[in-house]
Copies of this chain bind each other. A is one copy, B any other.
């Protein structure tokens, strides 16, 4: 910046004014400063500036998700990026793989970089360690899962209702022996979906088949194995509700292997790319990751803009998409 000032033959503060589009600079001076800046290929150091700036904003956001390679996370990320970019804010992203240790490390890495706000999918038992940051004025918004140990804004899908919707749909097709394939039970969304499933069975007066409640699955492989187990026995389910996208994929593979894909009904939670092109088409409870991301960004920026109303949780609706696999009638 000093170099630019020298080349343009003005004071350093004038350069600062031009760069920041502050008023009270003659257009001739603006011209000279800008051409000097281009000549020198000058990029202002935003971090150095924010060291002294009154609002101390780094124009930076930290995003913590399951994995940036996961399509759900990718969609959320994208909509947050779009909202952020329109405000000149850059986004750091970090993958947690549902590992609480990584959550702590990543949060700390972002805090050291003085992000203006944090958007995260919580993994740890409690996020109380963020209380001091929140009080200190750094907005914290939770996505996908509700926080615990801290009162903060959250944007989540209506997991229990979505699961109930899936379950009701299967019941309506005449199924009574419905298996539930769930993620790790300590994950909030997993337990919510399980709750929705069980409550809906309860409402319908269908006894809960304990044997068909398979939990703590976490990927395609374990889900595939779970299907193996379910259909190895004598008393088999006639329908499956797979409560997470990777689990759904594992379930499809498992059913295919036994050539049951057209005999056993399947509804998945969370949509899957190309689900409509499978045979049968995959029926799902679709979430709305774009909307989750957009709302999360909106909350962070509203907080940064001074909104100090009590935190609240926004629930984003899910929708049942019927494509065939969920409309299969009970068999045998």
- Chain A residues proximal to chain B, CB less than 8 Å: 41, 43-48, 50-51, 58, 60, 67-71, 73-75, 77-78, 81-82, 85, 88, 90-95, 108-114, 132-133, 249, 252-253, 256, 272-275, 277-279
Contact = CB atoms under 8 A, between A and B. Distances in A.
22 contacts: A43-B112, A45-B112, A47-B50, A47-B114, A48-B51, A51-B51, A68-B68, A68-B74, A68-B77, A69-B78, A73-B74, A74-B74, A81-B93, A90-B92, A90-B113, A91-B93, A92-B92, A249-B274, A273-B274, A274-B274, A278-B279, A279-B279
Contacts of A68: 68, 74, 77-78, 81, 93
Q: Can you tell how many copies of this chain the complex includes?
A: 2
A47 B67 CA distance: 26
A101 to B, nearest CB: 12
Contacts of A279: 278-279
Contacts of A278: 274, 277-279
A271 to B, nearest CB: 12
A70 B60 contact: no
Contacts of A43: 108, 111-112
A157 B157 CA distance: 38
A67 B71 CA distance: 11
Residue among A47, A58, A92, A278 with the highest chain B CB neighbour number at 10 A: A47
A247 to B, nearest CB: 14
A252 to B, nearest CB: 6
